């Protein structure tokens, strides 16, 4: 499986020097929030794959879908374009980047902390291998921190979340799945 090796996180692949343009676009995108998880920006999610100049005034932003069928993807594309259009980049546009497929490993450390504070347990372990995906990791309750939790359902309110319950504090909570 050539595609299964460790993957480079997005946006760090090619050059070490980040251009001024890319830096300012990324800063703008830190204020574009996921419509389903409004504490998480598209940068926190790790779905912004590249920012590059296209032609004279154009800017191309590469974005990966989290799940193929996630309805938020379309909204996110529009939100990104709108944010850039209204901030001095009228020629900016968004393209899909499918490969390598997005992984929950790419959610930033800051993003994980925001998820936890919002009441969603962040993805527990790096996916890395199929075996780890099938293992049942210990999920800590985002409210009380107890690891005495149980999975109620593999599928929650959005494609990216599973439904859990904390045995210690009896609260139900969402868990952001590893993929």
Partner 1 sequence: MSDARFSFVLRLADTSLVLGQRLGEWVGHAPALEEDLGLANLSLDLIGQARLLLSYAGELEGKGRGEDQLAYLRDGAEYRNVSLAEQPNGDFGHTVVRQLLIDAWQLQLYDELQRSSDRRLAEIAAKALKETRYHFRYSAGWVVRLGDGTPESKSRGQSALDELWRFTAELFTADALDEEMATLGVGPRLETLRPKWLARIDEVLGEATLTRPTDVQYPWHGKSGQHTEHLGYLLAEMQFLQRTYPGAQW
Contacting positions for partner 1 (CB under 8 A): 1-3, 65, 67-71, 98-101, 103, 130, 133-134, 152-157, 159, 163, 177, 179
CA distance 156 to 36: 12
Specify the residue, 112 or 177, whose C-beta has the smaller distance to partner 1.
Answer: 177
Q: How far is the first Cα of the chain from the last one, in angstroms, to the nearest whole number?
A: 16
CA distance 63 to 7: 16
Classify 175 as helix, strand or coil. strand
Closest distance of CB 66 from partner 1, Å: 10
Closest distance of CB 72 from partner 1, Å: 11
CA distance 74 to 58: 21
Closest distance of CB 90 from partner 1, Å: 26
CA distance 161 to 93: 29
Specify the residue, 86 or 157, whose C-beta has the smaller distance to partner 1.
Answer: 157
Specify the residue, 41 or 66, whose C-beta has the smaller distance to partner 1.
Answer: 66
């Amino acid at each position: 499986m050539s595609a299964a090796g460790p993957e480079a996180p997005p946006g760090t692949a090619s050059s070490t020097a980040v251009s001024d343009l890319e830096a300012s676009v990324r800063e703008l995108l830190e204020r574009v929030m996921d419509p389903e998880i409004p504490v998480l920006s598209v940068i926190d999610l790790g779905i912004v794959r590249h920012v590059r100049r296209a032609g004279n005034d154009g800017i191309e932003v590469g974005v990966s879908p989290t799940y193929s069928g996630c309805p938020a993807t379309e909204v996110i594309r529009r939100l990104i374009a709108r944010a850039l259009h209204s901030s001095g980049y009228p020629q900016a546009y968004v393209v899909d980047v499918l490969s390598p497929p997005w992984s929950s490993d790419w959610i930033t450390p800051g993003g994980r902390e925001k998820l936890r504070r919002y009441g969603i347990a962040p993805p527990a372990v790096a996916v890395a291998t199929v075996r780890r995906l099938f293992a049942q990791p210990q999920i800590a309750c985002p409210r009380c921190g107890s690891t005495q939790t149980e999975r109620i359902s593999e599928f929650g309110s959005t494609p990216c979340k599973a439904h859990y319950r904390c045995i210690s504090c009896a609260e139900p909570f969402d868990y952001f799945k590893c993929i």
